[in-house]
Amino acid sequence: MEIYFLTHNPSKYEEASNLADQFNVQILWKNIEYEELQENSLEIIATKSCERIIEKNPELQKFVFFLEDAGLFINSLNGFPGPYSAYVFKTLGNEGILNLMKNKGNREAYFKSVVAFYSNENIELFNGVTEGIITQAMQGDGGFGFDPIFKPNKCDQTFSEMTLATKNLYSHRQKSLRELFTSLTAFNKK
């Protein structure tokens, strides 16, 4: 079975492909840009994104694919930027978030990932969450997005300072994809 990961982000594909190899699942990258929906829930965004992609690209109905949406939720900012993380990163970036956090004692935050898997006209969702803190300053030069300012619990490195293999031990995306790949592996054994 050919499974496509629909994303415009090569770093996301690299993370997913690295993990898929551990499950003997081969995923193919389909570099497709789709509208970044603005909704209050990652689950709604992932589901509606799948539906809109199929509406605009009806030929994809015969494919098996998944897409992923993620957000950074900061406790002292009432969950901001949450499902608006991509937009906030483009407009404020890491420095903007650090400025918002300047006088905040509570630096707890979490990353959440939602994978929407499409097969045979059905959409199934898989979730992953990683709790941690927002650092005082950017650290590291790897990764992407908010990786330089997020340090997972029980770690002394930000996502940006980790190797891909280490990041995949902790990341929210790894957790949601692990659920997906476990599901696919179990299905293939039947």
CA distances in angstroms from 89 to 51, 70, 82, 83, 186, listed in the order given: 25, 12, 11, 11, 37
Q: Which of 69, 141, 147, 156 is catalytic?
A: 69
* Among 48, 19, 56, 49, CA closest to 172: 19
21 classed as catalytic:
no
Q: Cα–Cα distance between 22 and 26 in angstroms, integer?
A: 10
Catalytic positions, written as ranges: 69
